[in-house]
């Protein structure tokens, strides 16, 4: 298990907000993540973990500083884990623009040059990071997962492929059909090549159609989101999921955009949703 280096920590709602750095065997570079431990975890109890996956251009700090999630995590006794959105260093491949390269890992295991050397975010999020969290912090093996935009895509496709690992999944304005929308097509072509069967393995709308095990799903979308519906097509996924027997709660939020103001407005609902799925 790689050693953790503490970057910063502060008291928050009687719990502890901290940032760490460690060398990742998945991405073959240093990775940074944030973790919020609620007061219950500091009082000798082990608590379940809710993983947050952020969107394009974000780091681990955007959600921890803007969403206001810690207040509700403290109330329910849930740890929050907030990883970065990609590998980052001078040696890690990058690209011009915000939607490919560093800050835009898309939570896949890249197979194409030059990305394959470091861009293995799927393995990092699904296997390596949880093993590290469960070894180093006072948490149980219970997990749930949620995210925003590119992170909503990550959370949905990960939960659909590994439903036994998560109590529930939720998303704010997720990219649900990346094989059919510009952001996803650009990223998948670069990271995974031209074989669309490889794309389908990370496309939630494709994955849900062959799912054999269901789990609770919550999706919020703002109707004033400038990326809706060109990049974000949640209704497509919702129809496919409900046809397969999934219990999907879908809310179209009038007047809300793609920002963290939107996320902060409904974060309490999402954390309560996960708390109930975790049996709290």
Could you tell me the two tokens for 254?
């009038």
pLDDT, residue 212, reads 87
Q: Where are the beta strands (DSSP E) in 160-210?
A: 169-172
CB atoms within 10 A of CB 116: 14
Percent of residues, the chain, with pLDDT higher than 90: 99
Place of tokens 């809710």: 50
Q: 209 exposed, middle or buried (CB, 10 Å; 0-12, 13-18, 19+)?
A: middle
Fold for 5-278, please state it. Rossmann fold (3.40.50)
d(CA 249, CA 9): 35
170 is a catalytic site residue: no
Residue of 24, 54, 149, 204 marked catalytic: 149
- The predicted-structure confidence for 85-137, as pLDDT tens digits, reads as follows 999 999 999 999 999 999 999 999 999 999 999 999 999 999 999 999 999 99
Q: Largest Cα–Cα distance of the chain, in whole Å?
A: 51
Mean of all residue pLDDT scores within the chain: 97
pLDDT, residue 205, reads 98
22 is a catalytic site residue: no
220 is a catalytic site residue: no
- The predicted-structure confidence for 33-72, as pLDDT tens digits, reads as follows 999 999 999 999 999 999 999 999 999 999 999 999 999 9
Average pLDDT over residues 144-164: 98
- The predicted-structure confidence for 171-198, as pLDDT tens digits, reads as follows 999 999 999 999 999 999 999 999 999 9
Residue of 118, 148, 258, 270 marked catalytic: 258
Look at residue 2 and tell me whether its pLDDT is greater than 70. Answer: no
Look at residue 211 and tell me whether its pLDDT is greater than 90. Answer: yes
């Amino acid at each position: 298990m790689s050693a953790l280096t503490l970057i910063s920590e502060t008291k928050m709602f009687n719990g502890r907000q901290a940032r760490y750095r460690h060398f990742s065997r998945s991405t073959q570079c240093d990775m940074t993540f944030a973790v919020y431990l609620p007061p219950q975890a500091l009082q000798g109890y082990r608590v379940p973990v809710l993983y947050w996956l952020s969107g394009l251009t974000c780091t681990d700090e955007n959600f921890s500083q803007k969403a206001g999630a810690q207040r509700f995590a403290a109330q329910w006794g849930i740890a929050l884990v907030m990883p970065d959105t990609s590998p980052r260093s001078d040696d890690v491949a990058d690209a011009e623009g915000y939607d490919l390269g560093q800050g835009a890992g898309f939570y896949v295991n890249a197979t194409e040059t030059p990305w394959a050397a470091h861009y293995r975010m799927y393995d990092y999020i699904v296997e390596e990071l949880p093993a590290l969290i469960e070894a180093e912090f006072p948490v149980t093996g219970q997990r749930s997962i949620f995210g925003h935009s590119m992170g909503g895509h990550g959370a949905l496709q990960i939960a659909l492929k590994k439903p036994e690992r998560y109590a529930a999944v939720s998303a704010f304005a997720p990219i649900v059909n990346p094989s059919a929308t510009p952001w996803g097509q650009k990223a998948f072509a670069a990271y995974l090549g031209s074989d669309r069967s490889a794309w389908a393995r990370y496309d939630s709308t494709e994955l849900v159609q062959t799912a054999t095990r269901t789990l609770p799903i919550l999706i919020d979308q703002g109707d004033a989101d400038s990326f809706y519906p060109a990049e974000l097509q949640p209704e497509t996924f919702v129809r496919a999921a409900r046809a397969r027997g999934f219990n999907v709660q879908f809310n179209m939020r009038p007047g809300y955009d793609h920002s963290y103001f939107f996320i902060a407005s409904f974060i309490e609902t999402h954390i309560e949703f996960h708390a109930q799925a975790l049996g709290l």
